[in-house]
Structure 1
């Protein structure tokens, strides 16, 4: 999940829609040269693959149902790469799985989320390619404009540190909350309740969409993949930040690897194929047109953004 502590400009819109939340996960298996495989991935299944001249690479994600993965699989097959889909159900799972060699890549997070993970765990997972950036919208079944929210109404937001900070910035930009100071990475404790219109209710990110029909909840801030799985009208938000802002670098979603694998040619091939027009068209379509594809960020530039973001988080912590 990427990147986050600048305040982004806002985008307005009206409407809302309910749905069920489905958590999901992906793993990708990539086949390449037997020599690379033998050096990187020992094991019974992998040994059999090596005998066939293949290397196994697993990529985890939280949006396994999205059609662009199938397209990527087909393109990879043309390059001698075989993709296999596995599963995680929560944001907290793919990074530990990557660290523990259960997978070889993941593609589910923005840079800020990765920075927070590295700071909290001592890991040094690195981005090797950019994917997309999407707005973080506020949806409501009760209101069509932020001006309709009244004092004391509750808004559900993701409770993980990085998405929570971004969600709070969205509510500040919408004029629904005020901070007591100028936090770089705000938490609910930074909200001035007396000066704010709404009360924030932090919940697990996958639960926010399901709360849109809760009579006690006036609005929900929902990550794009959960909104998609829940059947939301992705253009029917009340308010959202602007993913094309210059300050949005920490929100760039990335493909991440272990630090020693940043230059692995098989992994770099996956990054290249992700940016094939067929894949990108599907990504944008699946996002309801909300995704902004991020080009021009190689591993070195992404590494710099990650390092700066990690320092910002430490300073704020």
Structure 2
């Protein structure tokens, strides 16, 4: 049976509209939740569930076991359970059920894979693009802006011309959860933005996008990923280049130079300090050393 024809689908459809319209989650997140919930609908149909109220904790465990037997990996099973848990939480908030049966069920622990960063020499090698070709100038401006401000790729492609203040050397971006932040840009990034804006002024574009494709449209995330990877090969950088690696390199290099974890957190737009700790692969010993040196109650046994 097609998931959309199942009696379980109307509630899922309403939930998907909720996360798209009211919560305004990213399109990728919404697509992921939709895909996982449609699979769960099919699985629930197979075990005789025709109403979400019939889904209890044993049946949730059954869905999890079936997912594992189907060859689903740990991270994918965790994602599937996250989608189900969010949907059931929403049902509780709507008064459609008393409790979430997926709440007390543990999901597979996924190992955290820290992104690799480039060392400073590799960054210099990558950014050593000296060309008068408009697309090459645009790409270097994107690379310099990405590394210079530690942006997410979605933030980079979302920049409009009016979001860049060439006088103060700042860029305004909208990050996760529609959170806005103003970030400084280095001299090199500003220099290449100025060069790109000269070419940009001669091109027609449907909107105010700072970075546009050769067709005059706002450049896409996929196009940025493709161009960065191509420049990595052209410049002879040994590792695969992608936007997230430049963001991670920005964070790592800044932290190594300043040691200011809180400042790096603010620049990256992280809502949680723990995210920054993992992202910049700080170890506990470093944090313990900072604590022992700074906290008035840390100096145990001293009087």
Same-fold call, TM cutoff 0.5 = no
Going by fraction, where is strand more abundant, 1 or 2? 1
Larger Rg: 2
Going by fraction, where is helix more abundant, 1 or 2? 2
Scaled to the shorter chain, the TM-score interval is: under 0.3
Higher relative contact order (CA 8 A, sep 6+): 1
What TM-score do the two structures reach when normalised by structure 1? Answer: 0.26
